[in-house]
Amino acid sequence: MDIAQEFPIQRVIDEEGQLVGDRSGVSDEQVREFYRWLVTLRTLDQRAWNLQRQGRIGTYPPFSGQEATQIGAVAALQKDDWICGSYRDWAALSYAGVPLSYPLLNSMGHAVSGRIPDGVNALPVQVVIAAQTLHAVGLAWSSALQNQGRVALTFFGDGATSQGDFHESLNLASVVKAPVVFLCQNNQWAISVPIARQMNSQTIAQRALAYNIEGIRVDGNDILAVYQTLREVVGRVREGRGPALIEAVTYRLGAHTTADDPTRYRPSEEEQRLSHGEPVARLRRYMLGNGLLTEDENKQVEEAAKATVEEAVQAAENFPKGSPEEVFDHVYAELTPQLRQQRAEFQQRIQEGGTARG
Binding footprint of Mg ion on the chain (CB under 5 A): 157-158, 187, 190
Write the DSSP assignment of 264-301 as a string of letters: GTS-HHHHHHHHTT-HHHHHHHHHHHTTS--HHHHHHH
Nearer to ligand TPP, 158 or 278 (CB): 158
Task: Considering the complex, state which of residue 128 and residue 307 has its C-beta at the smaller distance from ligand TPP.
Answer: 128
Task: Give the residue from 216, 225, 196 showing the smallest Cα distance to 72.
Answer: 225
Choose, from 252, 282, 284, 285, the residue flagged as catalytic. Answer: 252
**Minimal distance in Å, beta carbon 190 to Mg ion?**
5
As a whole number of angstroms, the distance between CA 76 and CA 190 comes to 27
CB of 313 to ligand TPP, least distance (A): 24
- As measured in angstroms, the least distance from the Cβ of 83 to Mg ion is 19
Between 158 and 214, CB nearer to Mg ion = 158
The contact set with ligand TPP (CB under 6 A) reads 88, 127-129, 157-160, 187, 189-191, 252, 256
- How many Cα atoms sit within 13 Å of 188 on the Cβ side? 21
Question: Per the residue annotation, which of 115, 265, 330, 340 is the catalytic one?
Answer: 265
Nearer to ligand TPP, 220 or 277 (CB): 220
Sign of CA dihedral 137, 139, 143, 146: positive
CA atoms within 13 A on the CB side of 166: 23
State the catalytic residue, choosing from 36, 241, 256, 349: 256
352 CB neighbour count, 10 Å cutoff? 8
Our CB check for ligand TPP shows the closer of 262 and 322 to be: 262
Residue nearest to ligand TPP (CB): 157
β-partners of residue 154 are 84, 182
Rounded-to-integer distance, Cα 40 and Cα 34, Å: 10
Give yes or no: 256 in active site.
Answer: yes
Beta strands in 202-332 (DSSP E): 214-219, 244-249
CB under 5 to 8 A by kind: which of ligand TPP, Mg ion, none does 191 bind? ligand TPP
The yes-or-no answer on residue 330 being catalytic is no
- Contact indicator for 221, 178 with CB cutoff of 8 Å: no
Give catalytic status of residue 135 as yes or no.
Answer: no
Shortest separation between residue 157's beta carbon and Mg ion, angstroms: 4
CB of 130 to ligand TPP, least distance (A): 7
Among all residues, which ones are annotated catalytic?
252, 256, 265
